[in-house]
Amino acid sequence: MDAIKFVEQDFIEAKELPDFGAGDTVAVAYKIKEGNKERIQIFQGTVIQRRNTGVNETFTVRKVSGGMGVERVFPVTSPAIDHIKVIKSGSVRRARIFYLRDRTGKSARIKERIFVKK
């Protein structure tokens, strides 16, 4: 098992990612290839889960677009991700907040986590 992790570390380049988790609002800039052109598109929404570790780590971002809920799963080690920006930190009690799928309007809001400087 350790040999597999050792080989995975050699092939994956380390990225500087901000510290974020479930409940945070993030903007993920990812590269899209169309023919021979490449452009960057931003997907902004709420992180509803982070799962696995290492090479297999992924996070799911949910947003409501045109009244329809859209979710996208991003691998953390994907070369298509340009950068991730944390817009707002949310205060939730769970690691996976799938209950947001059933909610609309005010009940779908997440409290903002306020950091106090000492």
Residue 116 counted as domain residue = no
Polymer length of the chain: 118
DSSP code of residue 106 = G
> What pLDDT does 62 receive?
96
pLDDT tens, 1-59?
678 777 777 777 767 889 999 999 999 999 999 999 999 999 999 999 999 988 889 99
Per-residue DSSP letter, 90 = B
**118 part of a folded domain:** no
What's the domain count of the chain? Answer: 1
Asked if residue 24 is part of any domain, the answer here is yes
In a domain, residue 112? The reply is no
**How many whole angstroms separate alpha carbon 28 and alpha carbon 18?**
11
Question: Could you tell me the residue range of the domain that residue 46 belongs to?
Answer: 2-102
Query: Is there a domain that residue 115 lies in?
Result: no
Rounded Cα distance, 15 and 74, in Å: 14
CATH number for position 73: 2.30.30.790
Q: Kindly state whether residue 28 falls inside one of the protein's structural domains.
A: yes
2: left (phi over 0), alpha (psi -120 to 50) or beta: alpha
39 assigned to some structural domain: yes
